[in-house]
């Protein structure tokens, strides 16, 4: 799409409000509630997976901590110490069929 610019947050909220027949405050409240549900479902106490109707499937992947280890630099062939990494939680979003159909056609 050459020449097209992306929507700002305000433009997005206004467009959703117009299409849904709601005012901007109500749309903002809906997105705040959606963020809260996502936090509950993907947080440490939730199941770690959430499907947003006809759009996305969100999954959390827990990366365990890695200890400091010794390796070989592939360029200099010298030994080096690889730094330890703390545990982390990564979110992966995959489109579902409904979104693929919307974009395709």
pLDDT in tens, 35-53: 999 999 999 999 999 999 9
In this prediction, residues 73-81 reach a mean pLDDT of: 93
3-state SS class at 82: strand
Whichever domain contains 83, its CATH number is: 4.10.520.10
Q: Please state, for a pLDDT cut of 70, what percent of the chain lies above it.
A: 97
Q: Is residue 1 part of a domain?
A: no
Report the number of distinct structural domains present in the chain.
1
Structure pTM?
Answer: 0.75
Nearest to 88 by CA among 67, 62, 68, 49: 62
pLDDT score, position 4: 77
In this prediction, residues 71-79 reach a mean pLDDT of: 93
Q: Is residue 54 part of a domain?
A: yes
Q: Strands across the sheet with 88-95, in order?
A: 49-52, 56-63, 88-95
Q: Is residue 4 part of a domain?
A: no
Contact 42, 50 (CB under 8 A): yes
Domain that holds residue 33: 9-104
């Amino acid at each position: 799409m050459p020449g097209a610019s992306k929507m700002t947050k305000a433009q997005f909220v206004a467009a959703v409000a117009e299409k849904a027949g709601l005012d901007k405050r109500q749309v903002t409240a809906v997105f705040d509630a959606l963020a809260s549900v996502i936090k509950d479902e993907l947080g440490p106490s939730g199941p770690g997976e959430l499907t947003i109707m006809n759009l996305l499937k969100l999954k959390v992947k827990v990366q365990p901590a890695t200890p400091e280890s010794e390796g070989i630099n592939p360029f200099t062939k010298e030994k080096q110490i690889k730094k330890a990494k703390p545990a982390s939680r990564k979110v992966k979003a995959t489109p579902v069929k409904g979104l693929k159909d919307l974009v395709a056609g």
